[in-house]
Chains A and B, each alone.
Chain A
């Protein structure tokens, strides 16, 4: 379990004076094996929050606890705490290995694993992201497609065997097919492998469909929290801070304005469910 207690963070040298807080008094718990979504407009603090969650950014005040103990950067060994793995936006931009296997094995090696052990972990991680190590292991990562490169980058994080994975916009910039594949993969890592996942996303549809719980940030503070059905129930409040609704809800709202209200919008996040409700109404 990962918990944040009264976190404040600022990029300003003197936030008390300037009032420029990226995060202000945020308390949040990521439960074991949970899939948590983080939404919010640009500049609301999402990326900062994800960096605090994995111990990369030290908050000005408050504490980050993993199973009750502070999450630390082990300065002596110069290795970050590997229990929370973090994928930045466009993680493939950090690929550097001459071969896929070498790149994925870098993390475990850095954590002290021997050559053989690191290689085994890398093979296993590649399999977990749906890549065949025999097929792509020796390939130059930069020769792969954008979607495959992203999977290799994710494998590099999984090879460090984190128990929680923090993903900042994991499908940004991918074409729709690759987007779908990466979202399926993330969902699998959660359901099949039991990993806790924290996903920052601008896609309300992805968050609504996949996450058990979601947090909405606005100006560095928690603006709403709950299951997607609960959070999106107050559509006007969500829209007031410039967030979009999941497309299914957005469509249902447009129907309402056109004089065709659907009986319930509760948890209406799949196209098939929306189509069922509309078919019922038209009949």
Chain B
């Protein structure tokens, strides 16, 4: 569990990136952080594993104050983080050495390290890649490897800071599938993204604007209000825009942030049943 209590943060340049944020990320949650460029979403994410600390207010991870130097080690081992550019976070080759790097630093015994490496690579769909050269992987594979490296530390919370931004569509889908699987195993997932379609997969969407929380709720609650989204420099997911265009043509479908559910509504309409 991560809790922000009236947290504010300014960069040395004077830019106020977080402005009195109070927020709780519950255990086992799948949350998405959205917002325009400069809204503070990455800054917020970096407070979650003590890469940044609030100037005012507090951030606690499982009750531990992130500003407490003695808690740092424990916080970082509970909260794993994956960044935008996979190239920036891979340190070793071949693949199994990369994943073993973290557990080795924990001083675990070789047996335990081996089993963690095997499990982490299986979890992200890279079993069989143990001996591959890290540099020769595709972007999507590198990003999944970065997740495996974080998983090998057995975190309870995984934060992805625009981790899909540099991936092609297939890489993005692979990454989302891994996140959904980890979430189904009970891991807490916090995803920072610009993709409204990715956000529609989350349980809770939190929108930031100028360092403040501007909206939060389920994808259907938050992502269907086109006008508000535009004001926040975002746009509605594809299926919301389509359902809106359909309503204006007299097709009575409800606003819906998920394409498959929209197709379900259309299918029900076509068969002459009421969609509600």
**Interface residues of A, Cβ cutoff 8 Å to B:** 41-43, 145-147, 172-180, 202, 204, 242-244, 247, 250-251, 254-255, 258-260, 271-272, 274-276, 278-279, 281-282
Contact = CB atoms under 8 A, between A and B. Distances in A.
Contact of A260 (B165, B246, B267): B267
Nearest to A247: B238
Contacts of B138: 41-43
Contact of B246 (A42, A145, A279): A279
Interface stretch (B46-54, B57-65, B75-83, B229-237): B229-237
A225 to B, nearest CB: 19
B169 A282 contact: no
Nearest to B231: A177
Contacts, number: 106
B242 A175 contact: no
**Which secondary structure dominates where chain A touches chain B?**
helix
A68 to B, nearest CB: 35
A174 B170 contact: no
A42 B165 contact: no
Contacts of A242: 168-170
A176 B263 CA distance: 25
Nearest to A180: B235
Nearest to A279: B249
A278 B251 contact: yes
22 contacts: A43-B138, A147-B37, A172-B165, A173-B165, A173-B194, A176-B233, A178-B233, A202-B169, A242-B168, A244-B169, A251-B238, A251-B239, A251-B242, A254-B260, A255-B263, A258-B266, A260-B263, A272-B245, A278-B242, A278-B266, A281-B270, A282-B251
Contacts of B35: 175
Central interface residue in B37, B139, B248, B259, by most chain A CB within 10 Å:
B37
Contacts of A42: 138-140, 167-168, 171
A75 B106 CA distance: 54
Given A202-B168, A251-B259, A174 B245 contact: no
Interface string B188-201: 00000010100000
A175 B207 CA distance: 12
Contact of A178 (B36, B139, B168, B263): B36
B233 A177 contact: yes
Contact of A276 (B239, B249, B263): B249
Nearest to B242: A271
Most buried by B among A172, A247, A271, A278: A278
Contacts of A258: 263-264, 266-267
Contacts of B168: 41-42, 202, 242-243
Interface of B: 35-39, 138-140, 162, 165-171, 194, 196, 230, 233-235, 238-239, 241-242, 245-246, 248-251, 259-260, 263-264, 266-267, 269-270
A235 B131 CA distance: 35
Most B CB contacts (10 A, CB to CB) among A177, A244, A276 go to A177
B62 to A, nearest CB: 32
Contacts of A251: 238-239, 242, 259, 263
Given A177-B233, A178-B37, A204 B266 contact: no
Tell me which of A175, A204, A260, A274 has the highest count of chain B C-beta atoms within 10 A of its own C-beta: A175
B234 A175 contact: yes
Nearest to B162: A173
A131 B158 CA distance: 40
Contacts of A202: 168-169
Nearest to B170: A242
Nearest to B34: A175
A259 B266 CA distance: 11
A259 B250 CA distance: 21
Given A178-B36, A251-B242, A275-B242, A243 B170 contact: yes
B37 A174 contact: yes
A176 B139 contact: no
A255 B267 CA distance: 8
Contacts of A243: 168-170
Contact of B36 (A43, A175, A255): A175
Contacts of B238: 247, 251, 271
A175 B246 contact: no
B249 A275 contact: yes
Contact of A41 (B170, B246, B248): B170
